Amino acid sequence: MRDGLGPARVRLRGGPVLAELDARFGPRARAKVLAGEVVDADGAVVDEATALPAGSVVYLYRELPDEVPVPFDIPVLYRDADIVVADKPHFLATMPRGRHVAQTALVRLRRELGLPELSPAHRLDRLTAGVLLFTARREARGAYQTLFARGLVAKTYLARAAVDPALVLPRVVRSRIVKRRGRLQAVCEPGAPNAETLVELVAPHGLYRLTPRTGRTHQLRVHMASLGVPIEGDPLYPNVIDVPADDFGAPLRLLARRIAFTDPLTGVHREFVSRRPGP
């Protein structure tokens, strides 16, 4: 771990490592080899003479992209030896991906809390704020991630959207949601449903309570848009809107308000509620 980030893992096509990394990633990767900053799976330093068979892996620290700082704090709601529960702000991705690396909840919390083994037990969209649970040590990771994977965590979200008097609520929305690599939007397709959300209008001015019973990518945003009442501030649904990276003035009006579960290590009932104002 270096400043909150682990090394990138590169699977090789086989042959001289220096030549392959240079061809695939350019002079910066070549410079890392020559500086002794690339190691193989056994931790041995790769040099200009190293050749490895196809399927081997090497590790190196990537160059961080230039990122626009997200000007919001990440309050910690709870912390013990096993977990950290944070109140994630809008515009901060859960973990590194694409152009968001250092400006992610995971990396910032690793740095701020001094916890190099911190890992998310689940994810929130970059534009969604609210309760986000991390494991603090490697040995606890699987137990908490399994809770979320098996749907054993009760989640409640609040959202702002227009009110359609003709829309009958509450209702359970079921659909088949597919998110393809390289596509910004997830889409509903024919087939067996894999996503389910209870949608309730809890205030006449457009405050909704959303209770997902599954956890598909962009599920709540897709389901609200499918009802004709997309969540306010959504730049993807129903239409893609280009928003500058440094525009923090119009957040998605969606808040992960509450999570509750039986702790897999202690058997104690856990409940965490965001302290952020309603969306």
User: What is the number of structural domains in the chain?
Assistant: 1
Measured CA to CA, the distance from residue 174 to residue 188 in angstroms comes to 10
Measured CA to CA, the distance from residue 64 to residue 104 in angstroms comes to 12
Residue 270 lies in a domain: no
Measured CA to CA, the distance from residue 32 to residue 39 in angstroms comes to 10
What DSSP character marks residue 196? E
Residue 276 lies in a domain: no
Domain range for 49 is 8-60
Residue 66 lies in a domain: no
What's phi and psi for 65, nearest 5 deg? Answer: -70, 160
Across 198-234, b (16+ Cβ under 10 Å) vs e yields bbebeeeebbbbbbbeeebebbbbbbbbbbebbbbbb
Measured CA to CA, the distance from residue 232 to residue 13 in angstroms comes to 46
Is 125 annotated in the active site?
yes
Residue 108 lies in a domain: no
Structural tokens at position 94 = 């859960």
Residues 39, 96, 189, 193: what is their CA dihedral angle, to the nearest 10 degrees? Answer: 90
Residue 67 lies in a domain: no
Entry pTM: 0.87
Measured CA to CA, the distance from residue 155 to residue 264 in angstroms comes to 17
Residue 163 lies in a domain: no
Per the CB < 8 A criterion, the answer to whether 251 and 153 are in contact is: no
Cα 221 → chain centroid: 15
pLDDT tens track, the chain, 279 positions: 777 888 889 999 999 999 999 999 889 888 999 999 999 999 999 999 999 999 999 999 877 778 899 999 999 999 999 999 999 999 999 998 877 888 999 999 999 999 999 999 999 999 999 999 999 999 999 999 999 999 999 999 999 999 999 999 999 999 999 999 889 999 999 999 999 999 999 999 999 999 999 999 999 999 999 999 999 999 999 999 999 888 999 999 999 999 999 999 999 999 999 999 988
Residue 193 lies in a domain: no
Structural tokens at position 41 = 């799976």
Per the CB < 8 A criterion, the answer to whether 158 and 274 are in contact is: no
Specify the 3-state DSSP secondary structure of 174: strand
Beta bridge partners of 75: none
Helix (H) or strand (E) holding 57: strand 57-60
> What's the Cα-to-Cα distance from 234 to each of 35, 182, 193, 218, 250, rounded to whole Å?
45, 19, 24, 11, 9
Residue 91 lies in a domain: no
Measured CA to CA, the distance from residue 44 to residue 53 in angstroms comes to 15
Catalytic residue among 87, 125, 164, 247: 125
